[in-house]
Amino acid sequence: MKILQVSNRVPYPLNEGGTIGIYNYTRGFAEQGCEVTLLAQAAKKHQINLMEARAELEKYCRFEVFPVDTDVRPWPALKNLFTNKSYNVERFYDAEFEKALIHELQNNTYDVIQIEGTFPALYSETIFKYKGDSKVVLRQHNVEFQIWDRLSRNSKNPLKKWYFGLLSRRLKAFEKLHLNQYAALVPVTHDDGELFKSMGCRIPVFPSPAGIDTTKWSPSANEDTNAIYHIGSLEWMPNVEALLWFLDEVWPHILDRNPAVTFHVAGKAMPDYIRSMKLTNVHMVGEVESATQFVEDKGITVVPLKSGSGIRLKILEAMSAGKTVISTTIGAQGIDYTQGLNILIADTAEEFADSVVRVVEDQTFNDVLKSGGRKLIEDQYSNQSVVKRLVAFYSNLD
């Protein structure tokens, strides 16, 4: 099977969930015997080492990359207010990338063209025009409009509430635009698939989560149960919202009950105002070279998301690594979990603090959660099994 992936990001280095998800499919397709080509935009702001990225990605695919400027700029964003288009999406348009995409489709044939999410779906009309006999599928990483809708609902600032609501409505209109022209929709969760169906999706829907490399993420004997952590890109607004809520509303309750607990925060693009916070037993680490090394000696991860969509790869990685996971309902959405067996769900500050203190002080219960999480990954979320199911779906797609 010949597969073309079209992406708005270079899936390397593996420092955030969306990047890891794309990389794992590229690698997984190759390991299933597929011939893979990856066309990717490289946002200038990310300052990726393209030589390192190429060396890694070309193990699994033919890799073509195109630098683009996707920075949010005040004047274009202001002008966009007087249109009906989504600025979130429009800033990913690049004429040279579109020309390269046309050239690729005119000179090569593919069985499947997999568009990696809402933002490269901006090029759907071009892809449909030149696709030939290829089946074009949209792998939907998130329901993007839902993220901004939740941010709008949670915001206490009237101006932000209005603006986030506007972004949400325009993203929703865009996400509906070509929905039924694809051969199939591949959301990362069943819930996302059902939401798209409620928006009028009538094409085949095949939920396919991000897979986990269980050899990379494996349990370690070098853990401190008193050490909890949060890792995630702090360029993503829901992560910032979640972290600040945890620090303001949850952390003081934990320290009051168990002053031995420490909290370690990692993630790329950590804002200066967060990095400079001086809070008892809190360590602001910032971006780390190796996520596996960062989590190795820590026992518990917290995912206190109040907004967001899709699936949290960091939860699946933590489960695979034998960590105890405590999350909000939104943070854990899309994962086939069982409360109290492989995860703890807590949606209020009091519930979250209670959950952390309980697993710190009850090692037997802690061990149940750790082993249950690892088993869930082995049974349902290993990268090999996830990609194998998707390739089988593509093989039978009309």
pLDDT of residue 16: 83
pLDDT of residue 168: 95
Mean pLDDT of 271-297: 96
CATH code 3.40.50.2000 region(s) in the chain:
2-211+383-395, 224-381
Per-residue pLDDT at 166 exceeds 90: yes
Rg (CA), the chain: 21
Mean pLDDT of 183-210: 94
Task: Give alpha helix (H) positions in 231-334.
Answer: 237-245, 251-257, 272-275, 291-296, 313-320
Q: Which residue has the tokens 């600040």?
A: 244
Q: 350 vs 312, which has greater pLDDT? A: 350
How confident is the model over 62-78, as pLDDT tens digits? 999 999 988 888 888 88
| Residue from 120, 332, 329, 142 nearest 237 by CA | 142
Q: Band the pLDDT of 210: cuts 50, 70, 90.
A: confident
How confident is the model over 6-62, as pLDDT tens digits? 999 999 998 888 898 999 999 999 999 999 999 999 987 777 899 999 999 999 999
Residue 371 phi, psi (nearest 5): -70, -35
**Burial group, residue 58, by CB count within 10 angstroms (0-12, 13-18, 19+):** exposed
Amino acid at 386: V
Mean pLDDT of 152-179: 93
Q: Band the pLDDT of 246: cuts 50, 70, 90.
A: very high
DSSP per residue, 67-114: EE-----HHHHHHHTTSSS-HHHHTT--HHHHHHHHHHHHH---SEEE
CATH numeric code, 2-211+383-395: 3.40.50.2000
Percent of the chain with pLDDT over 90: 81
Percent of the chain with pLDDT over 70: 100
Pick the CATH number of 224-381 from 3.40.50.2000, 3.40.50.2300, 3.40.630.10, 3.10.450.50: 3.40.50.2000
Is-contact 177 199, C-beta < 8 A?
no
Q: Band the pLDDT of 187: cuts 50, 70, 90.
A: very high
Per-residue pLDDT at 309 exceeds 80: no
